[in-house]
């Protein structure tokens, strides 16, 4: 009798048993934010909700040690990650970020947002993300290359053109993608351009990829402005982050007649009520690495950025910037999320109650991965398209995806974020159901 009770199987109530602690919803970082977003969509999933637990657990998590020789003769160890959140719809896809604050749970959230984003624009990918906990500005070029190559080699067991395809993200660029492509190709013994996207044009990269995320931000911004009856010409825009996403979006809005009144980045916050000279600012950022020190603007306190009088706010830097603490102060009518995860769920609620329209990351910044998809297709076919064709296809996909999400938001009276999650999670879970469980 006693041995029978000891052998009692643990009762597993499908999907109800507690998550392991590192997956827990009490996580206050981006992963916890993501779980709250999933909980908001589950009531809208109908019968597919029975698969929803899948969304709360990354499929595969890899932590790697990245040791390299430093220029001063010492050996340094960096911690690297690659997370494949979901691969039901195709290979994993998502960027690699180098940042001193990167953590596993942040990369898990970023990989999950890639699953949602890729499904929202209907590119045939799952979601993945990688990162190294490092401040790349402190490395020499040689150290950066050695770290990138060793990291690529370590995650080489799970990436590949049909398995998981990295791309640029915060602090990574075309050169880093070239080293990743070369390292993977050397290890596999064949030239494999399709293993990463965001490569230099001469190495199988795509025209338009560098500007694609910013172009997508601009495209959905114009679509939403149209619905709101807002003119882009003359609109006042504030941008946080002036790199590959914020810089390009700012340039496109300025070219369409908007006034870029404030820009914030790691080097400070600048303001110019009449509108900043965007080409001059982009040149300044290219030369100095940040907006700080730009002569033709007023310097304001970083906190004051959230009080700036503007019509459109574009957070295009890091996660958790718009929180319950500052959401009540924002003056914009519309927020376009160029960054991943810039708004917490608590802030989302405040913004919604204040009638501020949020165009969520999972649709607003999907232009980058959309042109990554074009790059991957071009690499496979070794037939390259011109920039006009790429931009036209990008705009078509973004407008189509945005219109579908807008309709769901209207029909079901939910935020655009929940609407995007409804569209995307249904796609993910439908393929999950079709494929069934192995074994």
Residues assigned a catalytic role? 129
Q: Which of 80, 95, 194, 342 binds ligand GLU (CB under 6 A)?
A: 95
Rounded to the nearest whole angstrom, what is the least distance from the CB of residue 241 to ligand GLU in the complex? 13
Q: Which of 344, 365, 418, 431 binds ligand GLU (CB under 6 A)?
A: 365
Sign of CA dihedral 181, 184, 186, 189: negative
Tokens (6 digits) for 218: 């601009």
CA dist list (Å): 123 to 76, 92, 130, 337, 365: 38, 11, 19, 20, 14
Q: Enter the tokens of residue 8.
A: 């009692």
* Residue 66 bridge partners (DSSP): 78
Q: Inter-axis angle of helices 30-41 and 104-120, to 10 degrees?
A: 40
d(CA 347, CA 151): 36
Q: How far is the CB of 168 from ligand GLU (least distance, A)?
A: 6
Is residue 369 part of the contact set for ligand GLU (CB under 6 A)?
A: yes
Contact 316, 341 (CB under 8 A): no
Taking CB under 6 A as the binding criterion, the range among 227-235, 256-264, 275-283, 364-372 that sits at the site for ligand GLU is 364-372
- Cβ nearer to ligand GLU, comparing 169 with 265: 169
> To the nearest whole angstrom, how small is the minimum distance from the Cβ of residue 194 to ligand GLU?
12
- The pattern of x and - marking residues 148 through 187 that bind ligand GLU according to CB under 6 A reads -------------------x-x------------------
Q: Which of residues 393-412 bind ligand GLU (CB under 6 A)?
A: none
Q: Is the peptide bond before 38 cis (omega within 30 degrees of 0)?
A: no
Query: For ligand GLU, which stretch binds (CB under 6 A), given 140-148, 329-337, 366-374, 422-430?
Result: 366-374
SS3 277: coil
- Candidates 120, 33, 61; CA nearest to 428 is 120
Between 327 and 369, name the residue whose CB sits nearer to ligand GLU: 369
- Taking CB under 6 A as the binding criterion, the range among 90-98, 141-149, 341-349, 377-385 that sits at the site for ligand GLU is 90-98
- State the minimum distance, in angstroms, from the CB of residue 94 to ligand GLU: 5
Residue 170 falls in which region: left (phi positive, over 0), alpha (psi -120 to 50) or beta? beta
Q: Which residues contact ligand GLU by CB under 6 A?
A: 93-95, 167, 169, 197, 340, 365, 368-369, 372
């Amino acid at each position: 009798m006693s041995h029978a009770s000891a052998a009692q199987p643990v009762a597993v109530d499908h999907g109800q048993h507690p998550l392991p602690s590192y997956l827990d919803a009490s996580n206050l970082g981006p992963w916890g934010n993501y779980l709250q977003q999933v909980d908001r969509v589950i009531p809208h999933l109908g019968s597919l909700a029975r698969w929803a637990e899948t969304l709360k657990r990354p499929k595969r998590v890899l932590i790697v040690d990245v040791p390299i020789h430093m220029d001063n003769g010492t050996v340094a160890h960096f911690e690297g990650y690659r997370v494949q959140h979901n691969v039901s719809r195709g290979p994993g896809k998502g960027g690699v970020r180098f940042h001193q604050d990167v953590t596993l749970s942040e990369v898990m959230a970023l990989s999950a947002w890639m699953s949602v984003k890729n499904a929202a624009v209907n590119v045939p990918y799952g979601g993945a993300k990688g990162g190294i906990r490092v401040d790349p500005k402190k490395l020499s070029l040689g150290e950066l290359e050695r770290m990138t190559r060793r990291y690529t080699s370590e995650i080489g067991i799970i990436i590949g053109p049909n398995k998981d395809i990295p791309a640029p993200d915060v602090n990574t660029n075309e050169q880093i993608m070239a080293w990743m492509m070369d390292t993977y190709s050397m290890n596999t013994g064949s030239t494999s351009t399709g293993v990463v996207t965001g490569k230099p044009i001469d190495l199988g990269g795509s025209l338009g990829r560098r500007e694609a995320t910013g172009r997508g931000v601009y495209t959905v911004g114009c679509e939403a402005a149209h619905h709101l009856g807002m003119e882009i010409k003359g609109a006042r825009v504030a941008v946080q982050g002036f790199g590959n996403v914020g810089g390009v979006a700012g340039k496109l809005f300025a070219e369409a007649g908007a006034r870029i009144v404030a820009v914030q980045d790691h080097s400070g916050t600048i303001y110019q009520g009449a509108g900043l000279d965007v080409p001059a600012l982009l040149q300044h950022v290219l030369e100095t690495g940040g907006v700080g020190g730009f002569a033709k603007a007023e310097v304001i306190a970083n906190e004051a950025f959230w009080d700036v009088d503007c019509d459109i706010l574009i957070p295009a830097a890091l996660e958790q910037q718009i929180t319950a603490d500052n959401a009540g102060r924002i003056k914009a009518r519309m927020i376009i999320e160029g960054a991943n995860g810039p708004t917490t769920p608590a802030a989302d609620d405040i913004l919604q109650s204040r009638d501020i329209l949020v165009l969520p990351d999972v649709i607003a910044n999907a232009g980058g991965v959309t042109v990554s998809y074009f790059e991957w297709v071009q690499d496979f076919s070794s037939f390259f398209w011109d920039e006009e064709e790429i931009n036209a296809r990008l705009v078509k996909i973004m407008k189509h995806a945005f219109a579908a999400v807008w309709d769901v938001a209207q029909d079901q009276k939910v935020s655009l974020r929940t609407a995007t999650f409804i569209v995307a999670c249904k796609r993910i879970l439908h393929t999950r159901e079709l494929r069934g469980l192995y074994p």
